[in-house]
Amino acid sequence: MPDISRRRALTAAAALAATATAATLAAPAASAAGHEHPMPMPRHPENFDEVYKGRRIQGRPMSGGGHHAEHGGGVEVLVDGVELHVMRNADGTWISVVSHYDPVATPRAAARAAVDELQGAPLLPLPAN
């Protein structure tokens, strides 16, 4: 099972990487481009829902406003249902609170980097503020 889901994930990642690059080039200043035009999950570069190394990672447009909305460029990332604090850099790259000095290309890559870093440990919920 892990092999199948991983291959599937890698194929999807390759397709999405191209989409993400195109989107970044076309609209470098747009934050969470495409908010007004929700698309089926696989078509949107910042939406994903997969099992990676045995853990469910999800990315989706942030619902409602909220304290963290602007930091993540309007994107919410979850690991096993717990929010991972992510942030979009000015150049379109992403970081998360568990990998804060090492930008990656997409929110999905940030979620996978978090799963790698966590080595199975549960993420703690963000402090309420």
Partner 1 sequence: MTVRKNQATLTADEKKRFVDAVLALKRGGRYDEFVRTHNEFIMSDTDTGERTGHRSPSFLPWHRRFLLDFERALQSVDSSVALPYWDWSADRTPRASLWAPDFLGGTGRSSDGRVMDGPFAAAAGNWPLTVRVDGRTFLRRSLGTGVRELPTRAEVESVLSIPTYDMAPYNSASDGFRNNLEGWRGVNLHNRVHVWVGGQMATGVSPNDPVFWLHHAYVDKLWAQWQSRHPGAGYVPTGGTADVVDLDETMKPWNDVRPADLLDHTKFYTFDS
Q: Which residues bind partner 1 (CB under 8 A)?
A: 31, 70-71, 85, 87-91, 97-103, 117-119, 121-124
CB of 100 to partner 1, least distance (A): 5
Task: Name which of 1 and 101 has its Cβ closer to partner 1.
Answer: 101
Residue listed under structure tokens 């890698």: 10
As measured in angstroms, the least distance from the Cβ of 57 to partner 1 is: 15
Question: What does the block give as tokens for 46?
Answer: 């910042």
Q: Which is nearer to partner 1, 18 or 126 (CB)?
A: 126
Minimum distance of partner 1 from residue 115's CB (angstroms): 11
Phi, psi for residue 10 in degrees, rounded to 5 = -65, -40
CA angle 59, 69, 12 (to 5 degrees): 20
CB of 99: closest distance to partner 1 in angstroms?
A: 6
Helix, strand or coil, per DSSP, at residue 75: strand
C-beta of 9 vs 95, nearer to partner 1: 95
Cβ neighbors of 11 (< 8 A, separation 6 or more) are: none
Order the strands of the 75-79 sheet from edge to edge. Answer: 48-52, 55-61, 75-79, 82-84
Query: 2 vs 122, which CB is nearer to partner 1?
Result: 122
